[in-house]
């Protein structure tokens, strides 16, 4: 007879947890994306959202900043200022290009409306999406 996993039982009384609670716990552990810097891959909910095959300095700086800060909903623009380049346009172009070419539509980036910050949103999962 297979043994119960520790996560299958309630910690207080040892009774099995409900499937809904187990599903919520699984979702809570996967709510943050993960930027794997050495492979240049962005993961979210066991899905590769974006993989960079060629160096992208802006993408690496922004995604590394999110990873370092444990993926808060918004961060200030982490891109270093460059002479002759408009930082707001540069950030907007990155967001547009990122959202246009993603492998998995569970995650999207967006600006704060002022061109000074960037945030991320997770797609809502409907019950039919979870299977």
Please state whether the predicted TM-score (pTM) of the whole model is above 0.85: no
Paired residues of 104 in beta bridges: none
Quote the CA–CA distance of 39 and 68 in Å, as a whole number.
Answer: 16
Quote the CA–CA distance of 58 and 125 in Å, as a whole number.
Answer: 29
Quote the CA–CA distance of 96 and 109 in Å, as a whole number.
Answer: 8
Tokens of 126: 């409907």
Query: How far apart, in Å, are the Cα atoms of 61 and each of 65, 69, 94?
Result: 6, 12, 11
For the chain, 131 residues long, give each residue's pLDDT as a single digit of tens.
Answer: 555 554 445 555 555 555 655 555 445 445 799 999 999 999 998 899 999 999 899 999 999 999 999 999 999 999 999 898 899 999 999 999 999 988 888 899 999 989 899 999 988 765 555 55
């Amino acid at each position: 007879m297979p043994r119960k996993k520790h996560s299958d039982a309630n910690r207080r009384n040892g009774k099995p947890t409900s499937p809904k609670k187990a599903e919520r716990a699984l979702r809570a552990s996967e709510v943050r994306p993960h930027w794997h810097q050495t492979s240049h891959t962005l993961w979210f909910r066991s899905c590769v959202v974006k993989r960079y095959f060629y160096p992208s300095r802006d993408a690496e700086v922004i995604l590394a900043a999110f990873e370092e800060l444990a993926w808060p909903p918004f961060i200030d623009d982490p891109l270093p200022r460059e002479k002759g380049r408009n930082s707001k346009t540069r950030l907007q172009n990155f967001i547009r290009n990122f959202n246009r070419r993603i492998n998995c539509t569970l995650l999207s980036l967006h600006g704060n409306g002022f061109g000074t910050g960037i945030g991320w949103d997770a797609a809502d999962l409907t019950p039919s999406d979870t299977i």
